[in-house]
Amino acid sequence: MAKDTLKFIPFESFEIGQVQTFGAYEVTKEEVIEFASKYDAQFFHLDEEAAKHSLFGGLCASGWHTCAMTMAMMVENMDKTGRSLGSPGLDSLRWLKPVYPGDVLSVRMEVISLHPSKSRPEIGIVKNTVTVLNQDGVPVMEFTSNGIFPRGKGAD
């Protein structure tokens, strides 16, 4: 998709307490192992038998893989609802529970604060608590995201 066909969400349209829920990402054993082979080659992400004797009790996804799967859901959501100009980073991230093959992940985002930029009046930062849940509604990961959105004339 070229940049000029993208829809950006104006900063002014956000309110504290707004909640979005989206996504249904099915975690597969093949993908858990493929990601870990490239980026997080620890036995509990690679070897089903050995992982049974780990702290996690079975093969589980790399925490970074869970981040990547979450981003895939966020981008899919952006394609529907509109997007940010980017992100400077996260304020905090916690891997709360293991993510296992067969789990189906979804995302809940809640706006927690709005920061119009003082130095750059054309943008603002929206902070969200991003909670990733499994199919039982159990939070498996949580972080605070920072999205940059266009403000005033910049949102035209």
Taking the CA atoms of residue 85, residue 87, residue 88 and residue 89 in that order, the dihedral angle to the nearest 10 degrees is 180
26 near a copy of itself, rule: CB under 8 A: no
**Interface residues for a copy of itself in 56-75 (CB under 8 A)?**
62-65, 67-69, 71-72, 75
Burial class (CB in 10 A: 0-12, 13-18, 19+), 103: buried
Which of 16, 19, 24, 90 touches a copy of itself (CB under 8 A)? 90
DSSP strand pairing (139-150 vs 19-26) = unpaired
**Rounded to the nearest whole angstrom, what is the least distance from the CB of residue 15 to a copy of itself in the complex?**
25
8 near a copy of itself, rule: CB under 8 A: no
CA-nearest of 71, 93, 94 to 84 is: 71
CB atoms within 10 A of CB 49: 9
**Interface residues for a copy of itself in 127-146 (CB under 8 A)?**
143
E strand or H helix that includes residue 43: helix 43-46
Which of 53, 81, 104, 139 touches a copy of itself (CB under 8 A)? 53
Q: Which residues sit at the interface with a copy of itself, rule CB under 8 A?
A: 1-3, 6, 35, 38-43, 47, 50, 53-55, 62-65, 67-69, 71-72, 75, 83, 85-95, 143
